[in-house]
């Protein structure tokens, strides 16, 4: 049964990805979105997408299309142009007829393909405006398809929109948000295609299907917001926090879906989770760089294909490890095995060879850190980095500090946060597995635990360095939580009969007892969020756990 028809208040089209939109009175619907929406993309010299997240000045670029371009079945002529304007720049006219030049290797997020190149005049215009080598490309509908995520909308595709062809918001939702904000924001912060009037705030959240004239639009998911809404679209200047900070208080996944478990899963290997600590940034001598000496590493984000976390998945030539950091272009590392090997790579007590990810990755990390650096991958074919034999004989790891797995509990973090001046998130402790529904620091005494068919052996408590004092969202260090942990989690207090080494502890380091798994000869090696944990055995004292 159809609900009462609502009113379309505004329609917006954004011809150039991440640039200013156009408010239009009508638009033509296509399978990939509105006609002309996100048809163009500004890319760097490597063909990778620019957005306002790294180039806020894009917000000031205005686009103009002929009025007749929004009529159904209209076709451009040799006298039809996209006109682009920006402060301090002369107008740029892009012919709407199909370009003759094709650019290969254009990439945006997970997608790589070809696109039409709009030529040298456009390239110079955008390069001059941004102050760096840039080009303007147009989506190539003739040869390319950019699928929407199949888990939400199998069989659909888009152009250069982030993920899906259409985004719908309501005026009521914006009005509600603005009653809470210190300073109201306009709808252009959220860049919708369709703005609806005459509904309740956030009524659109529950729309499964809507009908506009004879066209039915299917809802697929709520739009998760990045930091782009913090960019003032009139000035190109980002706000440090709003409106994201306020939205987090009443529109976060934790608030809206408190009982929903993330569908995370990972494959267990002898050296740790598949893909965990496979890569390492090293200096010009091949020595490991960590947040202890390079706090900016906290801001480097990594992304793997979703299918990489399926058991027995193998990468193809189109599989990439994607790396991002503030102010940097996107870096794509092929997941197939590199051909170069770097000798003399060292991390703590270990030295050996590793795969070298090449000059592009080296330049990226060197530029980001401001010093000569390279990215290497653990070479499982020839190397074995053994765990300390006094704790775990016959086990090994990749580039984790000492052991393959680190287990912490939410209860332990919650207890710590009751003592801290300001609470800290779990990312300060960089655990592999976070356990819930136990008492604080229960994990200290776990000798063996079982998850599905996999048995994990506790080896020792994890003593913490100053990385835990590093805010993982800013890369700025402080004194907490180490200062507070010293008051109740130091070796002096937990093991008063032993000589103090001024260590503090949080979390339990573990290995996977793969011998048991091999003897059983069955069962999957994948564990997922929501799996139950059985405590098979405990040790008798905290002293035994820490030594």
The CATH number that domain 400-546 falls under is: 2.40.33
Cα–Cα distance, 274 to 269 (Å, whole number): 6
Helix (H, G, I), strand (E, B) or coil at 227: coil
* H or E element that contains 365: helix 359-369
Q: Which of 227, 208, 226 shows the shortest CA–CA distance to 218?
A: 208
Helix (H, G, I), strand (E, B) or coil at 198: coil
* H or E element that contains 364: helix 359-369
Q: Which of 392, 460, 463, 404 shows the shortest CA–CA distance to 432?
A: 404
pTM above 0.95, yes or no: no
What the block records as the tokens of 160 is 């250069």
Helix (H, G, I), strand (E, B) or coil at 445: helix
- Pinpoint the residues of the chain covered by CATH 2.40.33: 400-546
Cα–Cα distance, 15 to 36 (Å, whole number): 5
Question: Which residues fall within 8 angstroms of residue 130, CB to CB, at 6 or more apart?
Answer: 42, 50, 55, 57
**pLDDT at 1 (0 to 100):** 43
Answer yes or no: are the C-beta atoms of 168 and 156 closer than 8 Å. no
* Cβ neighbour number for residue 75 with a 10 Å cutoff: 9
Q: Which of 279, 413, 298 shows the shortest CA–CA distance to 347?
A: 279
Helix (H, G, I), strand (E, B) or coil at 342: strand
**pLDDT at 523 (0 to 100):** 61
pLDDT means per 10 residues, the chain with 547 residues, are 74 98 97 98 92 92 97 95 98 95 89 95 98 97 91 91 96 97 96 96 95 95 90 89 90 73 78 96 97 94 89 85 92 91 94 96 97 96 93 95 96 95 94 93 96 94 94 91 96 86 94 81 78 93 67
DSSP string, 7-69: EEEEEEE-SBTTS--EEES---EETTEETTTT-EEEEETTSBBP-TTT-GGGGG-EEE--GGG
**pLDDT at 321 (0 to 100):** 93
Strand partners, 360: none
Using the 8-state DSSP alphabet, how is residue 467 labeled? G
What the block records as the tokens of 499 is 């000589």
């Amino acid at each position: 049964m159809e609900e009462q028809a609502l009113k379309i208040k505004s329609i917006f089209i954004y011809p150039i990805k991440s640039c200013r939109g156009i408010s239009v009175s009508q638009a033509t619907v296509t399978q990939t979105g509105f006609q002309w929406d996100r048809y163009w993309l500004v890319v760097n010299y490597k063909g990778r997408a620019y957005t306002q997240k790294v180039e806020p000045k894009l917000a000031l670029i205005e686009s103009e299309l002929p009025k007749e371009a929004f009529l159904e079945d209209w076709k451009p002529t040799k006298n039809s142009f996209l006109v682009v304007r920006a402060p301090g720049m002369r107008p740029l006219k892009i012919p709407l007829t199909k370009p003759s030049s094709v650019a290969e290797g254009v990439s945006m997020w997970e997608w790589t393909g070809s696109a039409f190149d709009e030529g040298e005049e456009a390239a110079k215009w955008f390069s001059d405006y941004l102050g760096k080598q840039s080009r303007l490309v147009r989506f190539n509908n003739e040869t390319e398809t950019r699928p929407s995520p199949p888990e939400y909308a199998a069989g659909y595709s888009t152009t250069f929109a982030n993920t899906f062809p259409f985004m719908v918001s309501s005026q009521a939702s914006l009005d509600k948000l603005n009653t809470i904000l210190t300073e109201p924001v306009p709808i252009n912060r959220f860049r919708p295609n369709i703005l609806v009037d005459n509904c309740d705030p956030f009524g659109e959240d529950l729309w499964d299907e809507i009908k506009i004239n004879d066209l039915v639009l299917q809802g697929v998911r709520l739009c998760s917001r990045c930091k782009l809404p913090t960019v003032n679209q009139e000035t190109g200047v980002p706000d440090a926090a709003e409106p994201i900070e306020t939205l987090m208080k009443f529109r976060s996944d934790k608030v809206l879906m408190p009982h929903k478990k993330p569908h995370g899963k990972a494959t267990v290997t002898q050296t740790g989770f598949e893909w965990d600590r496979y890569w390492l940034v090293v200096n010009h001598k091949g020595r490991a760089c960590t947040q202890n000496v390079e706090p900016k590493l906290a801001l480097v984000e990594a992304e793997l294909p979703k299918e990489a976390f399926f058991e027995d998945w193998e990468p193809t030539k189109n599989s990439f490890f994607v790396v991002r950091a503030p102010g940097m272009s996107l870096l794509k590392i092929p997941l197939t095995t590199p051909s170069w090997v770097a000798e003399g790579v060292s991390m703590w007590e270990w030295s050996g060879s590793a795969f070298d990810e090449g000059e592009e990755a080296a330049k990226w990390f060197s530029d980001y850190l401001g010093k000569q650096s390279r990215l290497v991958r653990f070479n499982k074919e020839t190397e074995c980095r053994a765990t300390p034999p006094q704790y775990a004989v016959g086990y090994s790891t990749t580039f984790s500090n000492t052991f393959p797995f680190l287990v912490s509990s939410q209860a332990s973090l919650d207890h710590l946060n009751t003592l801290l001046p300001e609470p800290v998130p779990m990312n300060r402790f960089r655990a592999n597995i976070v356990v819930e529904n136990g008492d604080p620091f229960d994990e200290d005494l776990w000798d063996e635990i079982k998850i599905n068919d996999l048995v994990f052996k506790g080896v020792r408590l994890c003593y913490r360095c100053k990385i835990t004092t590093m805010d993982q969202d800013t890369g700025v260090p402080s004194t907490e939580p180490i200062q507070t942990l010293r008051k109740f989690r130091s070796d002096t207090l937990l093991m008063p009969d032993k000589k103090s080494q001024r260590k503090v502890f949080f979390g339990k380091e573990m290995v996977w007892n793969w011998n048991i798994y091999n003897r059983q000869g069955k069962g999957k090696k994948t564990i997922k969020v929501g799996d139950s944990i059985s405590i098979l055995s405990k040790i008798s004292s905290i002293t035994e756990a820490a030594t």
